Chains A and B, each alone.
Chain A
Amino acid sequence: MLKKNNIFIILVFTTLLLIPLLFDIYYVNNISYFILWTFISLGLALIWGMGGILSFGQTAFFGLAGYSFAIISINFADTFAVGIWAPIIALLITAIFGAIVGYFLFYGGIYDVFIGIVTLAITLVLETFMAQTAGPEWAIGNARLNGFNGMQGMPPIGIKISDSKFYLSGTGQYYFMVFLAMFLLWILYKIKKSNFGLILLASKEDRMRVESLGHNVKKIQMITFSLSALLAGISGILYTNWGGYITPSSMGLVAASMPVIWVAASGKNDFFSVFLGCILLVYISQTLAINGAQYAIILMGFILVITTRYFPDGIIFMLKKYLVNKSSFKNKL
């Protein structure tokens, strides 16, 4: 059964790798946009699916990374070395912020729904704060924060090899995202199989018991939270790089709900389902949004309510299980 599952994963990635050969650059860029959202979803699947900790504020890390990247990249635009350092420094900032928030949450003894509320409050406050930075006094170096309209015109991620410069855009950006996704999925599976992952999974079932066995659950949860912040940060930087802009509304209430919907509908316990489901759901909402964003959001709301009520394991996960192993699926029904 495991082998069939692997064949399915290989099939999906082969299709993704073949796409730039079959479609023109417009579609490739569009699919890059779908893939960039998978990282924030994988981060949420890590903390929610494996850790049993529901964070509503992943967009806070998304926005923080996006803004940090934009600020660093604009300020050091002249020195080209920034093209590769800006995203790395932005990710470090995000991971440290994630660790600090995680410290307050887990060492403060905050659990269950309270974590959701606190993280939601954090992202909403960041949104409120960034939305009021319209005046000229709100600038970091050369980078104006621009309030509600957000920042734009930041130099893209790039690398300089001898005299030629390579920017992360178009087909190159697409392949970068696909390979990054493959790499991160592999890492996440490794984490799931490691001692660290097992303790995390056990702490989801019974925190007290794992603690009394001598494991430092708080530390493990804090590290996991920081890792999930890092993954959300990757999405934030790639989003900023992809569109060349970042706005406060990317940290708002509607934006914050999207990763939760994608992960819940896909199946929070299985990283690959989350990856695939996220791409499909972003595609669906983007297609629907042509007729007005509100219709897409209403549909996403219905998907969320219906999955939590009827398919707690996630729709994509169940479909995948059905495709991969029809007989065992029937036995389970």
Chain B
Amino acid sequence: MSEHNHTEKDSGNGGASRRNFIGAVAAAGGLAAIAPGIHLVQVSQANTPPRPAGEAASKAVRWGMLIDTTKCASGCTDCVKACATENGITETVKDARQASQWIRKIDIKEVKTGRTHSLPMLCQHCAHPPCVDVCPTGASMKRADGIVLVDRHICIGCRYCMLACPYKARSFVHQPLTEQNPEVPRGQGCVESCTFCVHRVDKGQIPACVETCTKEGHNAMLFGDLNDPNSEISRRVAQVTTTQVRADLKLDLGVRYQGI
């Protein structure tokens, strides 16, 4: 459905659009043949069409993520690995404290009861992000669809956003980088964090971590449009009790947790 709309919009571009169309059909055919599961997941979770190039992100959409901690196993790092592969976070850093972590697994244990949970922690894509408020140059920004990003061209590397983030979701790149993913520019001396795989979302795909979690059968992560009452994430958020981490700050998070 979404691919069909995309082709219609591109139909005036002559040969280029024909090539795009053929490419899209071939890709869709290939995906359908080799990984039908992935395709179905994408359709069910990202039920908003891809954003055509040149069209601004819409505030009618609020991308969000629901994490079911009852399905998230301690020790499982599939989401973390998928994020690293997708975003080219492959560099070796001598001191682990200087490494970038866009998503990490946290194990928590209730002191009084001993009850444990495991969960992925990432940028919470706040509606009122402190990182955006404090950024002196406006490099930290929130897109209309709720995705919080860093503009690598105007980040001066002051790290004030890292001081302001209540979730320790941001990392500073401490060394020169090579072999980056062209779709995910990163750079020494800049601050970075989870982008909700914005380059994929804009193509109508879901973030790599969610895709892998689902593909591996964990089904602990769900991605979608919180503004669409018919999306699976909206229905789930309406049905089950979810938690926003540090809800006392009233930042209206895009990431919700179930089971903690």
Same assembly:
no
